[in-house]
Amino acid sequence: MSKLPKPFVERLENQFGKPAADAISAAFKEQRRPTLRVNALKASDEEVMGLMREDGIQFERIRGIPHAMAVKNRSSSELLESYLAQQGSIYLQGIASMLAPLALDPRPGETVLDLCAAPGSKTTQMAAMMEGKGRIVAVEEDEVRFQKLQNTAWMQGAKMVTPRQADGTLVHHEEPEAYDRVLLDAPCSAEGRISLRDARSYSFWSPKNIAIHAKLQRRLLRSAARTLKPGGTLVYSTCTLAPEENEGMMKWFLGEFPEFAPVEFDLPVSSVRRPGKGMIIALPTKEHEGAFIAKLQKRR
Ligand code: SAM
């Protein structure tokens, strides 16, 4: 197995302390079990569990995350080829990816904006949470990824999703104060997804890469803030641990948009840090990758 960049390890130690940094580095070595979400728009947990048992698939429910299960005796690619995945009754999704929609907590009938949506994991999770009622506008800039998003929404039967190929930094011009809830799952330096089994997951790591992402995140956050209705809820999430893109970004945001206030929330994962009010870092573990989630409310 290859080695992580030294400056990255030093940053982790400064940020979290040596024991936690060592635990994070150990988590980067893990081969995690595949996890899935039963797509409640198409099937019930009971139906899917019955069919998995018939196929000899061993699984266990993930505590605290509705419809989520970890599979013990199949690989991700085997599950992707399964009938259940092919017809959209299950969707393969990591635990860390399921957290931001839980924090946003969209309700049936609401109007939701997903500003960086492809491939649509969180979009379709939210569609299921909303029982297919209401509207989700799912924005993605990249053409190839946009096609994946369209395909995911179609496979999952998420008819209330309107996929839109657009630059998320500009959406607020057309739709100011239009949404009850906004998810900004921003492009990021992806430190939480590092795997020592795949050198590509960290070969691009650099402070410059972090700064480039932070610049785009600020532009996306400005747009997200303006598309929200007064009283609306914003969740900002990344899959990185870099403070410049996470708690540092929230400090900037609250200075720039004083009409927002952080909202406290909980998540069903054990290894967490709370770098400030309304913010949670899920540290990478044996079970899941790392993620940062912040929840804010716009004043009425
Ligand atoms: N939320 C997605 C999910 O759960 O499946 C993952 C989103 S991924 C972290 C970030 C996405 O933002 C990428 O698909 C990227 O192409 C897209 N993106 C980057 N810049 C964008 C922009 N200016 N406007 C809209 N999407 C953008």
Q: Which helix (H) or strand (E) holds 15?
A: helix 6-16
pLDDT at 207: 97
Is 139 near ligand 1, meaning CB less than 6 Å away? Answer: yes
Residue with tokens 């039967």: 157
Q: Closest Cα partner for 183 from 264, 252, 118, 267? A: 118
Q: Which of 62, 92, 122 is the last residue of a domain?
A: 92
| pLDDT score of 77 | 97
Question: Is 0.75 surpassed by the pTM of this model?
Answer: yes
Do 83 and 165 lie in one domain? The reply is no
Residues of the chain with pLDDT under 50: 1
- Which of 121, 140, 182 is the best mutation target for the ligand 1 pocket, counting ligand atoms within 8 Å of the beta carbon and taking the most? 140
> What is the three-class DSSP state of 145?
helix
Report pLDDT for 2. 54
188 catalytic residue (yes or no): no
In a shared domain, residues 248 and 111: yes
Tell whether ligand 1 has an atom less than 6 A from the beta carbon of residue 97: yes
* Residue ending a domain, choose from 92, 115, 136: 92
Location of structure tokens 């309304």: 278
CATH for 238: 3.40.50.150
Please check whether residue 10 lies inside any domain of the structure: no
Enter the tokens of residue 93.
Answer: 């999704």
In this structure, the answer to whether residues 118 and 206 fall within a common structural domain is: yes
Q: What is the CATH number of the domain that holds 43?
A: 3.30.70.1170
Is 64 assigned a ligand-binding role in the annotation? Answer: no
Q: How far is the CA of 133 from the centre of ligand 1 (A)?
A: 24
pLDDT value at residue 3: 86
Parallel/antiparallel/unpaired status of strands 135-140 and 161-165: parallel
* Separation of alpha carbons 68 and 123, rounded Å: 16
Q: Is 39 in the pocket of ligand 1 (CB under 6 A)?
A: no
Catalytic residue selected from 239, 241, 242, 279: 239
- Whether residue 146 is found in the same domain as residue 168: yes
In angstroms, what is the span from residue 119 Cα to ligand 1's centroid? 8
> Cα–Cα distance between 18 and 211 in angstroms, integer?
25
Q: How many domains does the chain have?
A: 2
CB 168 near ligand 1, within 6 Å: yes
Whether residues 78 and 217 fall in one domain: no
Residue 182 contacts residue 222 (beta carbons within 8 Å): no
Which residue range is the domain that position 48 belongs to?
35-92
| Residue 107, both tokens | 């309700």
Q: Are the C-beta atoms of 30 and 42 separated by less than 8 Å? A: no
Q: Are 40 and 125 in contact (CB under 8 A)?
A: no
Q: How far apart are CA 240 and CA 252, in angstroms?
A: 17
For every residue of 154-215, DSSP letters joined together read HHTT-TTEEEEES-GGGHHHHSTT-EEEEEEE-----GGG-BTTBGGGTTT--HHHHHHHHH
- C-alpha–C-alpha distance, residues 232 and 181, integer Å: 6
Q: Is residue 20 part of a domain?
A: no
What separation in angstroms does the CA of 179 have from each of 1, 136, 137, 223, 237? 46, 9, 9, 12, 18
* Percent of residues, the chain, with pLDDT higher than 90: 99
231 and 148 share a domain? yes
